[in-house]
Amino acid sequence: MREQVSKRKTHTKSRKGCFQCKRRHTKCSETHPRCANCTRLEIECTWPASPSGFASHPGSVHTARNRSTLSPDQSFDSPGTPPTLREPELAIEDLRLLHHWSTKTYLSLYPNTTNKYNIWQTGCVEIGFQHPFLLHGILALAALHKAVETASLNPSLFMQAHSHLSSALSAFRNHFAHPTKDVAIPMFLMSTIFILYNLGSARVEEPENPVDAIVHCFRLVKGVRVVIEPFWHHISTSECYTLMEQKFSLEPSPGTQPVEKILRLNDLTERMLHEDPRDKNACIEAIAELHKTFLRIRSCTPEHDRHAVMFVWPADLPDRFLELLSLHNRVATIILANFAILLQQVQCSWWVQDWPRRIISATRVLLENEPELQEWLKWPSEQISVAENVNNQN
């Protein structure tokens, strides 16, 4: 009986796949200009040289996903004649925004904190080239900053900012639902950009309700922690670690005097919320963290980044406290008014400007029929007014 020869299994390995799939040892769909894996991961997709001697590469932020490197109307005179290529299109408006980012916006994010300049000017952009959702965020913030800096009402800048932010959000939500180590660093950077954009957009369009707007930003800050924690080791060994290093390493200096005005908020909490232990405990925890943040700020040296230190507070807030703020609970909003004192200390950053005033004004409106509670706004109002006068003199 003739021995049956087994058929050799068909080889399905991709032989013309992109460099990214080859490095990751995954099968490439070979879809140009961007394969399925790179599209899913939102990373750059580059290809080996084709037989005609041309390599595939992505184009601008807006066109890379929809256009191959060789234009569809190229013509070939004969099989041995090189193709006639149309002059490549450039997204000039995007390039203008990127130029504005790399020359002006990055300097404005954290004034006087030079250790962050290189990260935002070049490091963040390089990562953005690999992860376009981050690049969209960079361009959105650059457009917003350009509008604020020039006091321009040019609708095209707002349209660009909104368009890029929408593109960034769409991809970011997908990654947020299923975060991986590959996108942990760009997601952290993008989360930071979202916070800056949301606060800074008030310079262009005054929020209808400042308390609700700041709560939204606080939720974004807490989202940063969600992104960071599972991949902490990976992020802490990267260059962008300096963006958050002071958040976790700075502790109050020994002997720093307590801030009695903050601690007395516990008395208000005990008196107003004694019938609801859950609400009372949420506010007491928020006060304790706020007091700790005040002590950290007092311990800051000129080299420390006060922005990073103070935004530890919203990152550590109990969820219930954010719910109370959303409900415009009187005790919670008074606690928030005291946080405005810290914001006043970094008002040199364009994206923070006017927020202390907004918070105090909004809290006064909420307490307008309760003069006794308005007394609790006296100290934060005085502190902010004094700081404003000093800033104006400088």
- Domain shared by 275 and 331, yes or no: yes
CA distance 335 to 286: 8
The mean pLDDT of 236-252, rounded to a whole number, is 61
What is the count of structural domains for the chain? 2
Torsion (CA) 204, 120, 180, 11 in degrees, nearest 10 = 120
Tell whether the model's pLDDT for residue 389 goes beyond 60.
no
Query: Among all chains, which residue has been given the structure tokens 């959000």?
Result: 169
Residues 6+ apart with CB under 8 A from 45: 18, 20, 33, 34, 35, 38, 39, 56, 58
Tell whether the model's pLDDT for residue 4 goes beyond 60.
no
Q: Which of 213, 241, 269 is the last residue of a domain?
A: 241
Residue 37 lies in a domain: no
CA distance 32 to 48: 12
Residue 35 lies in a domain: no
pLDDT at position 312 is: 86
Q: What is this structure's pTM?
A: 0.75
- Domain shared by 186 and 117, yes or no: yes
Cis peptide before 33 (omega within 30 of 0): yes
Query: Among all chains, which residue has been given the structure tokens 């190229």?
Result: 74
Residue 263 or residue 86, greater confidence = 263
pLDDT at position 69 is: 36
- Domain shared by 173 and 122, yes or no: yes
pLDDT at position 76 is: 39
pLDDT digits (tens, 9 = 90+) for 269-290: 999 998 899 999 999 999 999 9
Retrieve residue 182's tokens: 């590959």
- Domain shared by 330 and 214, yes or no: no
Tell whether the model's pLDDT for residue 170 goes beyond 60.
yes
pLDDT digits (tens, 9 = 90+) for 187-200: 888 988 999 999 99
pLDDT digits (tens, 9 = 90+) for 111-161: 766 666 678 888 899 999 999 999 999 999 999 999 998 876 678 898 899
The mean pLDDT of 254-282, rounded to a whole number, is 93
pLDDT digits (tens, 9 = 90+) for 301-325: 777 778 888 888 998 999 999 999 9
CA distance 351 to 214: 12
The mean pLDDT of 215-229, rounded to a whole number, is 83
CA distance 251 to 81: 69
CA distance 114 to 17: 42
Q: Which of 212, 241, 270 is the last residue of a domain?
A: 241
The mean pLDDT of 35-64, rounded to a whole number, is 59
Residue 125 or residue 235, greater confidence = 125
Domain extent, residue 152, equals 92-241
Tell whether the model's pLDDT for residue 13 goes beyond 60.
no
pLDDT at position 77 is: 45
Tell whether the model's pLDDT for residue 366 goes beyond 80.
yes
pLDDT at position 35 is: 84
- Domain shared by 197 and 277, yes or no: no
Residue 142 lies in a domain: yes
Residue 163 lies in a domain: yes
* Number of other residues whose CB lies within 10 A of the CB of residue 282: 24
CA distance 187 to 183: 6
CA distance 114 to 55: 39
- Domain shared by 169 and 297, yes or no: no
- Domain shared by 277 and 376, yes or no: yes
- Domain shared by 190 and 123, yes or no: yes
Distances (CA, A) of 363 to 230, 330, 335, 370: 36, 8, 10, 11
Contact at 8 Å (CB) between 173 and 326? no
Contact at 8 Å (CB) between 280 and 274? yes
The mean pLDDT of 20-32, rounded to a whole number, is 81
Residue 85 lies in a domain: no
- Domain shared by 184 and 258, yes or no: no
- Domain shared by 169 and 262, yes or no: no
Percent of the chain with pLDDT over 70: 77
Residue 364 or residue 66, greater confidence = 364
Contact at 8 Å (CB) between 256 and 205? no
Residue 334 lies in a domain: yes
Tell whether the model's pLDDT for residue 210 goes beyond 60.
yes
Residue 133 lies in a domain: yes
Average pLDDT taken over every residue of the chain? 81
The mean pLDDT of 353-369, rounded to a whole number, is 94
User: Could you tell me the pLDDT band of residue 168, with boundaries at 50, 70 and 90?
Assistant: very high
- Which one of 31-35, 168-172, 236-240, 278-282 scores highest in mean pLDDT? 278-282
Contact at 8 Å (CB) between 354 and 202? yes
Retrieve residue 249's tokens: 């390493």
Tell whether the model's pLDDT for residue 243 goes beyond 80.
no
Distances (CA, A) of 198 to 86, 89, 141, 218, 267: 40, 32, 10, 10, 33
- Domain shared by 154 and 271, yes or no: no
User: Could you tell me the pLDDT band of residue 65, with boundaries at 50, 70 and 90?
Assistant: very low
Question: Reduced to 3 states, what is the DSSP secondary structure of residue 138?
Answer: helix
Tell whether the model's pLDDT for residue 5 goes beyond 70.
no
- Domain shared by 217 and 290, yes or no: no
Residue 34 lies in a domain: no
pLDDT at position 220 is: 86
pLDDT at position 311 is: 87
Q: Which of 241, 270, 293 is the last residue of a domain?
A: 241
Question: Reduced to 3 states, what is the DSSP secondary structure of residue 358?
Answer: helix
Percent of the chain with pLDDT over 90: 44
